[in-house]
Amino acid sequence: MAEPPIYKDVNSAIIERCKKGEKRAFYELYQLYAKAMFNISLRILNDKSEAEEVLQDSFLKAFDRIKRYDPRFSFGIWLKKIVINGSLDALKKKKPVLVPLEESYYVQEDVSEEQVDFDVNTLKTFIGELPDGYRTILSLYLFENYAHKEIADLLGISEGTSKSQYNRAKKKLIELIKQKTIHER
């Protein structure tokens, strides 16, 4: 098996200082990644206080395990996995409803997507109104670029269930947008 390509993280100097236990370096690393990691957790959990808690726990785990971090890979991706796993663990405690479907029941349905002009915050609001299961799969697929197979493995569901939940989430999101545009007329 071939070795992964040599990767030099842009923050490798700070990471090395963290590995030596330098407190200022921990703070600098936190400042560099906190906002992005919070947004990832918030998209999955849709709850600011829970996302903040997951963020803090994730950084504590990362700092506790920093000596095991492999510098051949991106620190941001390593940290992102910790945050996503922490967010999913928090979500599991809330028990989101994921409708398990056999892969044979999965049918790709065309969703009529009209051109709608919304700002990012309005779209985030609509996504936040989705049920937990829909929002989680939509976020992992669209924003975190996970494949349905990876989502299925993370959530302990079939790949077909991930795909169908994603399609249902898109449909529900379009319904919410249409309802808003009808009410605004």
What domains are there in the chain, each with its CATH number? 12-94 (1.10.1740.10), 103-184 (1.10.10.10)
Mean pLDDT for the stretch of residues 19-24: 94
Phi-psi region of 46 (alpha: psi -120 to 50; beta: other; left: phi over 0): left
Comparing C-alpha atoms, which of 58, 47, 49 is closest to residue 83?
58
Residue 101 pLDDT exceeds 60? no
Give the whole-angstrom CA distance, residue 154 versus residue 139: 13
Quick one: pLDDT at residue 115? 46
Give the count of beta carbons closer than 10 Å to the beta carbon of residue 41.
Answer: 28
More confidently predicted of 115 and 50: 50
Q: The tokens of 117 are what?
A: 């002009």
> DSSP 3-state assignment of 142?
helix
Mean pLDDT for the stretch of residues 152-177: 89
Q: The tokens of 146 are what?
A: 């996970």
Provide φ and ψ at 158, rounded to 5°. -80, 160
Give the whole-angstrom CA distance, residue 127 versus residue 139: 9
pLDDT bracket for residue 185 (50, 70, 90): low
More confidently predicted of 165 and 6: 165
Alpha-carbon distances of 36 from 18, 20, 52, 81, 142, rounded to whole Å = 20, 25, 12, 13, 15
